[in-house]
Amino acid sequence: MLRKRIIPCLDVAGGRVVKGTHFRELRDQGDPVELARAYSSQGADEVVFLDIDAAPQERGTLVDIVERTAYEVFIPFTVGGGIREVDEIRALLRAGADKISIQTAAVQRPELITEGARVYGSQCIVVAIDAKREADDGWQVYTHGGRQPADIEAVAWAKEAQRRGAGEILLTSIDADGTRRGYDLALTREVADAVNIPVIASGGAGHPQDLAAVLVEGHADAALAASIFHEGRFSISETKQYLRNRGIPVR
Amino acid sequence: MITIVDFGAGNMRSIENALERIGTPVRIAATPEAVASADALILPGVGAAAPAMARLRERKLAAQIVDAIANGVPFLGICLGMQLLFERSAEDGASCLGVFPGSVERMVTTEKLPHVGWNTIDVTRPHPVLSPLDGEAMYFVHSYAVVPANRDLIIAETSHGGPFVSAIAADQVVAVQFHPERSGQAGLRLLESFVRFAGVGAAHVA
């Protein structure tokens, strides 16, 4: 039986792992490669690196992190943050990344999904969606690190991403991100039920029970979390034990 | 020494890193000559079958791989590198290497596709490479799976809303649908057991 995946997310800026609240107030949390290796040995199912600088001049740093990670870590890892061109996808896959997450550029130019999937296969194209709850009961897609509304409805965009060849959706609730009060279950369920590709839920994890909730009630295929693991409140193995005890299939 | 076939459609780097980790010398082969002189071969691959076969033929590697297998060179196919061993793929109608009769078909399942993540391998026929890993979870990412005409090839199955073939073997050939180079410690153990099976030097997990 396919296991539910637990994925620590490493927000990278200037070659370090950082974490903020509502995409702001960044705090240093360590060396990305070291953290990725530690998480892998604790039983993480995958690792995600998000380059939150996403400055073109910093791309060399990111490629270097990817190369070093590929050399030491033997679980899949995804890289995202400001990726706009098929050439950048190629460079990061060559450096050893397994999947590339695209977000703002996918909204601005959806053909990037199609092109990436055609050249490298759907399995390595993850479309990241940052969504914010709107007053009228739906969720709006935001780009540029959660700052700019894209005027697209999140569920419709997830379907469009799938149609264009995305292999997975990485879905972040801007409202829940950094709050540690749990994932946006309604958003996750809406999206997970609307598409036939795996959905990775993100934003809001504060306790293993939040991961349990999003994997069961939220219908997510995987749960991504950052500070809960980085700050050592719960280890990956503790979290997995908690999920296992509740009958959720984990590795 | 293990030779990884480089045809520009692979996650070669991660396989190379994994073999280095278990202390196995690796060579990358992009020419028919290099494939012809290999002691043991790994055929990696991600993505679709048709472009991969086009590249293998362009570089004159396809016929060389088939010859090497016919000559009994130990061989490990990984993911697309497993699928290419069959006659054709329904993914894009590609005609493949045809080492084994059978085809590659879209998985029949009520679950989500692609099948992404960690899933159990159930060894259905004892084999020195797979048996030590019976019941372990390995990392998969694919929507198509092999349908061998000869079911005796099957050595492991996995379930994703229905069973599919996750490993096959015949003589010196082993092929797996999952990614041992991305399956953590269990994956490294599988590569170790292939290195032993191939008789190309001792390996140990660091």
Condensed to tens digits (0 to 9), the pLDDT of residues B29-73 reads: 999 999 999 999 999 987 788 889 999 999 999 999 999 999 999
Q: Where does B143-185 show beta strands of DSSP type E?
A: 144-148, 154-159, 163-170, 173-176
pLDDT band at A54 (very low <50, low <70, confident <90, very high): low
Overall pTM > 0.80: yes
Q: Which helix (H) or strand (E) holds B54?
A: helix B49-58
Is the pLDDT assigned to residue B11 strictly greater than 90?
no
CA distance B162 to chain A (A): 10
Flag if B182 and A75 touch (Cβ within 8 Å). Answer: yes
pLDDT digit string, tens, across residues B140-189: 999 999 999 999 999 999 999 999 999 999 999 999 999 999 999 999 99
In B, which residues are within 8 Å of A222 by CB distance? 117
**Catalytic pick among B79, B96, B115, B192:** B79
Task: Kindly state the DSSP code that residue B92 receives in the 8-state scheme.
Answer: T
Task: Kindly state the DSSP code that residue A4 receives in the 8-state scheme.
Answer: P
End-to-end CA distance of chain A: 10
Q: Are A223 and A211 in contact (CB under 8 A)?
A: yes
Q: Of A13-27, A75-89, B79-93, which gets the smallest average pLDDT?
A: A13-27
Find which of B139, B185, B188, B191 to mutate to test the A interface (most A CBs within 10 Å of its CB): B139
Task: Kindly state the DSSP code that residue A167 receives in the 8-state scheme.
Answer: S
Q: Is A193 a catalytic residue?
A: no
B11–A contact, CB cutoff 8 A:
yes
Name residues whose C-beta falls within 8 Å of residue B37's C-beta, 6 or more positions apart in sequence: none
Average pLDDT value for residue range B133-138 = 98
Q: Is A98 a catalytic residue?
A: no
What whole-number distance in Å separates Cα of residue A169 and Cα of residue A166? 7
Return the number of other C-beta atoms located less than 10 Å from residue A107's C-beta. Answer: 25
Closest CA to A213 of A3, A4, A2: A4
Order of strands, sheet of B88-89, starting from the edge strand that comes earlier in the sequence: B88-89, B102-106, B144-148
Is the ipTM higher than 0.90? The answer is: yes
Closest CA to A139 of A124, A162, A126, A156: A156
Find which of A2, A78, A86, A219 to mutate to test the B interface (most B CBs within 10 Å of its CB): A2
Task: Kindly state the DSSP code that residue B181 receives in the 8-state scheme.
Answer: G
